[in-house]
Structure 1
C-alpha cells in the first residue's frame, strides 16, 4: 500500500456542508485553485490523512465493496500525485 501526504506548497481547506465533502486546493504561490467534491474529496482527504488503503476507506464511507472502486481510486490518486496535489511518502 502507498502512503501519501500533502505537499508543503499546497494550501487546502476542507468543508462538509450539507453532508457533501468538499476540498479546496491551491499550489502556492500561484497555482490555480482546484475544488474537489464528493468522492474526489473523500479520496484526497483519506490520502492526506495518511490512510494507506484509500480505496478501502472510501469504500467503507460509501457502503461499497473495495473491489468495485479500487481501480478508479488508484487511478485518481496517480492523477493527484502527477498534478502535485498529493505526494507519495513511500
Structure 2
C-alpha cells in the first residue's frame, strides 16, 4: 500500500454539505482552485488522513465491495499525485 500526504503548498478545506462530502483545494501561491465532491472527496480525504488502504475505506463508506472500486480508486489516486494535489509519502 502506498502512503499519501498533502503537499506542503496545497491549501485545503473539507466540509460536509447535506451529507455530501466536499473538498476545496488550491496549489499555492497561484494554482487554480479545485473542488471535489462525493467519492472523489472521500478518496482525497482518506488518502490525506494517511489511511493505509484507501480503496477499502472508500468501499466501506459507500457500501460497495472493494473489488468493484479498487481499480478506479487507485487510478484516481495516481491522478491526484500527478496533478500535485497529493504526494506519495513513501
Same fold (TM over 0.5): yes
Cα displacement string for residues 28-72 of structure 1 (whole angstroms, at most 9, x for unaligned residues): 000000000000000000000000200000000011110000000
Q: Kindly tell me the number of residue pairs found equivalent between the two proteins.
A: 90
- TM-score, normalized by length of structure 1? 0.99
In structure 2, runs of 5+ residues without a counterpart are: none
CA RMSD of aligned residues (A): 0.3
- TM-score, normalized by length of structure 2? 0.99
Q: Distance in 1 between the 2:35 and 2:63 partners?
A: 24
Report the equivalent of 2:76: 76
**What is the SS of the residue equivalent to 2:70?**
helix
In structure 1, runs of 5+ residues without a counterpart are: none
Q: Distance in 2 between the 1:48 and 1:37 partners?
A: 15
4+ residue segments displaced more than 6 Å: none
Report the equivalent of 2:57: 57
